[in-house]
């Protein structure tokens, strides 16, 4: 079901295609991020109490791109959460799944899919826990997790208890699937935030941790006790076993865990684990093999900021923005801190280059959440995008120069290790202040441009489509594991097109509480073909593909190479259970 | 025989074996008193000692022990004649003189107390008693407005017991009293002066009222454009504000501070920090070096310069600079952290681990301090 760019443009026609054509006349111009939310016909409102008296009311808002029916067109799941009063009164908030109609619009299929009311939903990530080729959905909750098994692309069943995940009652935020032990099955890590009791809540403005520049606000995260984290090993029979302690990733310090991501940071074939902790040091767990990890955040230089201060680590983006073949790490933070960029120097050594890269100064005044490395102009160099939004509505009335709603930011890769703040140059829609939280990337319309899907804490989500700019080429890959896990999580692809050499990795989770499209997307600039594509599978095997034409998606099967997509997708949809 | 009397914080050692000078009556009483003292029964020992001194007023041991026991029974007025008598009989008894001074102070005889406390303070070798006497002296001097004398004593105590909470509290109170005194004097001498506005601005800034602090600092500059420090204070307030518009103005204020006083080392240092954050590494390095020329032992300036060197790929130059910064200030957490990273990159794993351990140690100390401070400033009734 791949499409080339011309076909996709033809599907859309109208305004979108016109904008693309207009952009061709000025190749130096940046693409514009057009707000296309209304035209998608997605209608969704994230619930929010007006005052945000409790921190738990400020943290939800994840978005997951999941091609749940494996038709090759990403669908969208938005989490939703009640406020404290609703929760105590037994009222629920409806999360929503939207099916991609392949014509630029989406249809709300939440009810028939059975994913509307998982819990007090924070984030959502995608993995195939039963390795049947149908992507499953894991929702992190205030009160554990909910695992939805995908029933053949028709609907979902809550299998949390059957899978052995029902014992988690803590405030879960981050989660990520990944095959840490190399058995071809996706294991699951869940990070937890604060130990928080809705029946014993710290009163608004009641102590020093509940003030912000003299304003009374919600309490926390300072002063809150944290909860430990969990690693669940996939037993291969639809259940998991908690191996947190024996793997040494249980967070004995009980820090306030947020985003967690698996990645092979040192290309040694074993995936490592990064956990962003709010207001404390980040964890980098080196995979030592044999089911054990060693926490090396301090030694690796990713625990704190460059001067040794713990920051409010929230969203995590990974990307090879320097073309070194290694994923660097970008982390969003609170205001009066900055978006932190850790350059991966290899051998699990990182350098905080936030200042040198020109990112820090531009991000000091915002509270950042979802973020991603994003080649929005398809020039082959990863740019960086982030959404912002404060946690305290009260800042608006305090007149301290900080605002609740904040516009997103986009930084253009200067190809020399630095970025240029282009936030004001990519369209009016992007400049609208919002209370942003989740952010996910995916080529929703299979036209070669990755859309940005943002879930806002307050009100409607926002979907941005890159339009105009240079007429650059691209290529996309949908991977199917055979010996490796079927969704090919943490498979790496190295692509060479002329002088462009890029590397990316299929990842579950990332950004803030979010899941981007599992397909890998590479901008190729002016190159019309990928000369060489190397695929490194989690199983240890690799493949080399040569001379792939640009501007289309390829389905690649482990051990077989480029195949018709049906060969890596599961057979016909099964009857819903 | 040697008797040790444990009372309160003091462990006073009786002076000498008692001498039986006046026959069996005194000897018997002495034995009885000694027994009570051994049994830690001062309330029974006191009347026996008083009988001894009635029979033998020159019995220095009995006088001294009677005075000590009465003092620690809080019977200061009754202790006074015994302590005075003991001191008259044996002028070198510093501990007795210390108690005498304290007893006099507690009975409203501050004038008499002062020379006794001062003399004993210099003669005492027991640090616990010396600290107590010093604290009393600071209070006496402060109450009389003799801040110089109080500061002198406080300085001695801080050397003697730099981590004693009582000593630190006393120093803190003294500093606050001096601030209040200066403020009162300023209100009389120059209530509309630029300097008065500087004080008010500083007080408001300390309380977190940035907006009004800036008003006073600006008024100070209006009244006296050449007033040193005013622009620097404005810059500091602007820089620490959450408001990006104010942040952006801080650089100009540091520059203004340097126009008023080109020897303002802190202004050079902080300006360099802003330039570094802007990515203007060349200018930042230049200004850090100016700061260090003015204050070669500024640990923070050395660290800032090292950070610029690291940013410009001169790690090997940054290492000795950070090592030097830590000699100037071993508690410099940033220097420990940065140095650990540089050592690790240089393959000096053991050195890296040592610096990381130091960093973690000071982090713990800082966290504890932060917790205490939050408890101090937290609203009453906080959960």
Q: Is residue A414 less than 8 Å (CB to CB) from chain B? A: no
Inter-chain touch B356–A203, beta carbons under 8 Å: no
Q: A358 — contact with chain B (CB < 8 Å)?
A: yes
- On the question of a common fold for B190-262 and B266-373, the answer reads yes
CA angle B260, B264, B267 (to 5 degrees): 95
Taking CA atoms, what residue in A is nearest to B300? A307
Contact between A301 and B341 using a beta-carbon 8 Å cutoff:
yes
What pLDDT digit, counting tens, does each position of A7-24 carry? 333 333 333 333 333 333
Interface of A with B in 110-169 (CB under 8 A): none
**What average pLDDT does range B311-321 have in this prediction?**
97
Which strand (E) or helix (H) includes residue A289? strand A283-289
* Mutation for A interface: B211, B281, B335, B341, most A CBs within 10 A: B341
Residue pLDDT, tens place only, B246-302: 999 999 999 999 999 999 999 999 999 999 999 999 999 999 999 999 999 999 999
- Dihedral angle computed from the Cα positions of residues B25, B29, B32 and B33, in that order, rounded to the nearest 10 degrees: -170
What is the pLDDT at residue A207?
Answer: 82
The full length of chain B comes to 383
B331/B307 Cα distance (integer angstroms): 17
Q: In this predicted structure, what is the pLDDT of residue B273? A: 97
Ranges of each domain in chain B: 26-116, 126-183, 190-262, 266-373
Determine, for residues B337 and A335 on separate chains, whether the beta-carbon distance falls below 8 Å: no
Phi/psi of residue A277, nearest 5 degrees: -115, 130
B379, A207: Cβ pair inside 8 Å?
Answer: yes
Q: Which of A308, A355, A365 lies at the smallest CB-CB distance from B334?
A: A308
Q: What is the pLDDT of residue A214?
A: 85
Chain B contacts in chain A segment 289-318 (CB below 8 A): 298-299, 301, 304, 306-308
pLDDT reported for residue B1: 32
Q: Is the pLDDT of residue A575 over 60?
A: no
Identify which of B276, B352, B378 has the shortest CB distance to residue A208.
B378
The pLDDT score that the predictor gives to residue A576 is 38
Quote the pLDDT of residue A28. Answer: 59
Q: State the pLDDT at residue A20.
A: 36
> Hey, are the CB atoms on B311 and A349 less than 8 Å from each other?
no
Q: Which residues of B are less than 8 Å from A202 in CB distance?
A: 383
Q: In the structure encoding, which two tokens stand for residue A319, read together?
A: 């990307």
Judging contacts by C-beta atoms under 8 Å, the chain B residues touching residue A308 are 333-334, 336-338, 359, 363
Q: Which residue shows structure tokens 């055979």?
A: A482
Q: Which residues lie across from A413 on neighbouring strands?
A: A419
Question: How many CB atoms within 10 Å of residue B305?
Answer: 26
> Residue A258: helix, strand or coil by DSSP?
strand
Shortest alpha-carbon distance between residue A402 and chain B (Å): 6
**Size of chain A in residues:** 577
The pTM (predicted TM-score) of the whole model is 0.84
Report the CATH fold assignment for B26-116.
1.25.40
Question: Per CATH, which fold does B266-373 belong to?
Answer: 1.25.40
Which of B333, B341, B377 lies at the smallest CB-CB distance from A208? B377
Chain A residues in contact with B245 (beta carbon < 8 A) = 401
pLDDT tens for each residue of B86-138? 999 999 999 999 999 999 999 999 999 999 999 999 989 899 999 999 999 99
Question: Which residues on chain B are in Cβ contact (under 8 Å) with A402?
Answer: 242-243
**Domain covering B190-262, topology:** 1.25.40
């Amino acid at each position: 079901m791949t499409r080339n760019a011309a076909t996709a443009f033809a599907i859309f026609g109208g305004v979108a295609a016109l904008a693309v054509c207009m952009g061709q006349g000025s190749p130096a111009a940046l693409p514009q991020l057009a707000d296309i939310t209304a035209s998608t016909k997605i209608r969704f409102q994230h619930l929010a109490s007006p005052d945000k008296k409790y921190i738990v009311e400020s943290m939800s808002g994840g978005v997951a791109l999941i091609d749940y029916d494996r038709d090759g067109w990403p669908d969208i799941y938005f989490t939703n959460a009640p406020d404290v009063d609703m929760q105590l009164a037994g009222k629920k908030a409806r999360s929503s799944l939207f099916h991609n109609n392949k014509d630029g619009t989406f249809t709300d299929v939440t009810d028939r899919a059975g994913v509307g009311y998982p819990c007090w939903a924070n984030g959502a990530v995608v993995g195939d826990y039963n390795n049947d080729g149908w992507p499953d959905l894991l929702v992190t909750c205030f009160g554990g997790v909910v695992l939805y098994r995908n029933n053949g692309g028709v609907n979902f069943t809550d299998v949390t208890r059957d899978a052995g995940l029902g014992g988690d009652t803590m405030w879960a935020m981050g989660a990520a699937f990944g095959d840490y032990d190399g058995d071809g099955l996706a294991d699951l890590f869940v990070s937890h935030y604060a130990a928080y009791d809705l029946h014993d809540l710290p009163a608004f403005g009641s102590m020093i941790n509940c003030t912000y520049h003299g304003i009374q606000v919600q309490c926390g995260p300072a002063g809150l006790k944290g909860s430990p984290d969990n690693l669940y090993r996939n037993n291969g029979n639809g259940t998991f076993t908690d191996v947190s302690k024996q793997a040494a990733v249980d967070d004995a310090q009980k820090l306030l865990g947020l985003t967690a991501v698996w990645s092979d940071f040192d290309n040694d074939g074993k995936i490592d684990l990064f956990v962003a902790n709010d207001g404390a040091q980040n964890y980098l767990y080196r995979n030592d093999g044999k089911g054990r990890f060693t926490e090396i955040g301090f030694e690796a230089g990713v625990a704190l900021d460059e001067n040794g201060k713990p920051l409010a680590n929230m969203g995590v983006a990974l990307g090879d923005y320097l073309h070194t073949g290694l994923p660097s790490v970008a982390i969003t933070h609170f205001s009066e801190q900055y978006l932190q960029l850790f350059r991966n120097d290899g051998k699990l050594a990182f350098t905080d280059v936030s200042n040198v890269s020109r990112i820090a100064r531009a991000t000091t005044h915002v509270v950042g959440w979802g973020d991603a490395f994003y080649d929005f102009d398809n020039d082959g160099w990863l740019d960086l995008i982030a959404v912002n939004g404060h946690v305290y509505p009260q800042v608006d009335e305090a007149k301290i120069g900080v605002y609740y709603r904040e516009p997103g930011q986009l930084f253009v890769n200067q190809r020399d290790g630095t970025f240029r703040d282009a936030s004001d140059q990519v369209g009016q829609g992007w400049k609208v202040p919002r209370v942003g939280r989740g952010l996910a990337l995916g080529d929703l319309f299979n036209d070669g441009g990755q859309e940005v899907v943002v879930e806002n804490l307050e009100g409607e989500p926002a979907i941005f489509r890159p339009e105009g700019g240079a007429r650059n080429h691209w290529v996309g890959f949908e991977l199917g594991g055979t010996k490796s896990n079927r969704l090919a999580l943490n498979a790496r692809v190295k692509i060479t097109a002329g002088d462009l050499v890029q590397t990316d990795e299929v990842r579950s989770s990332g950004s803030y509480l979010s899941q981007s499209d599992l397909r890998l997307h590479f901008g190729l600039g002016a190159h019309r073909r990928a000369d060489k594509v190397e695929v490194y599978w989690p199983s240890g095997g690799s493949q080399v593909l040569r001379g792939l034409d640009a501007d289309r998606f390829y389905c690649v099967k482990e051990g077989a190479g480029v195949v018709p997509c049906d060969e890596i997708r599961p057979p016909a949809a099964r009857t819903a259970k | 025989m040697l008797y040790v009397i444990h009372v309160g914080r003091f462990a006073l050692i009786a002076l000498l074996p008692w001498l039986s000078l006046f026959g069996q009556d005194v000897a018997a009483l002495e034995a009885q008193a000694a027994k009570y003292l051994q049994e830690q029964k001062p309330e029974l020992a006191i009347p026996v000692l008083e009988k001894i001194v009635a029979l033998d007023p020159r019995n220095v041991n009995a006088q001294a022990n009677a005075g000590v026991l009465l003092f620690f029974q809080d019977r200061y007025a009754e202790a006074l004649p015994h302590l005075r008598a003991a001191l008259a009989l044996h002028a070198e008894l510093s501990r007795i003189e210390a108690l005498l001074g304290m007893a006099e102070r507690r009975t409203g005889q501050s004038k008499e107390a002062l020379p006794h406390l001062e003399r004993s303070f210099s003669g005492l070798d027991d640090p616990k008693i010396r600290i107590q006497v010093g604290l009393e002296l600071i209070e006496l001097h402060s109450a009389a407005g003799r801040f110089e004398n109080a500061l002198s004593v406080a300085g001695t105590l801080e050397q003697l017991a730099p981590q004693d909470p009582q000593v630190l509290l006393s120093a803190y109170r003294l500093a606050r009293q001096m601030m209040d005194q200066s403020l009162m004097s300023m209100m009389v001498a120059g209530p509309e002066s630029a300097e008065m506005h500087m004080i008010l601005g500083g007080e408001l800034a300390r309380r977190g009222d940035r907006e009004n602090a800036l008003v006073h600092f600006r008024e100070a500059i209006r009244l006296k454009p050449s007033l040193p420090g005013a622009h620097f204070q404005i810059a500091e307030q602007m820089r620490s504000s959450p408001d990006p518009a104010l942040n952006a103005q801080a650089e100009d204020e540091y520059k203004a501070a340097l126009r008023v006083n080109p020897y303002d080392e802190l202004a050079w240092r902080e300006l360099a920090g802003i330039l570094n954050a802007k990515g203007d590494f060349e200018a930042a390095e230049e200004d850090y070096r100016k700061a260090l020329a003015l204050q070669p032992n500024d640990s923070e300036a050395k660290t800032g310069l090292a950070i610029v060197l690291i940013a410009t790929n001169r790690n090997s130059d940054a290492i000795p600079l950070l090592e030097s910064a830590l000699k100037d200030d071993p508690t410099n957490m940033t220097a420990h952290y940065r140095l650990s990273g540089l050592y690790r990159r240089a393959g000096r794993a053991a050195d890296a681990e040592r610096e990381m351990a130091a960093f973690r140690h000071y982090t713990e100390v800082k966290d504890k301090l932060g917790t205490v401070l939050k408890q101090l400033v937290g609203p009453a009734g906080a959960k």
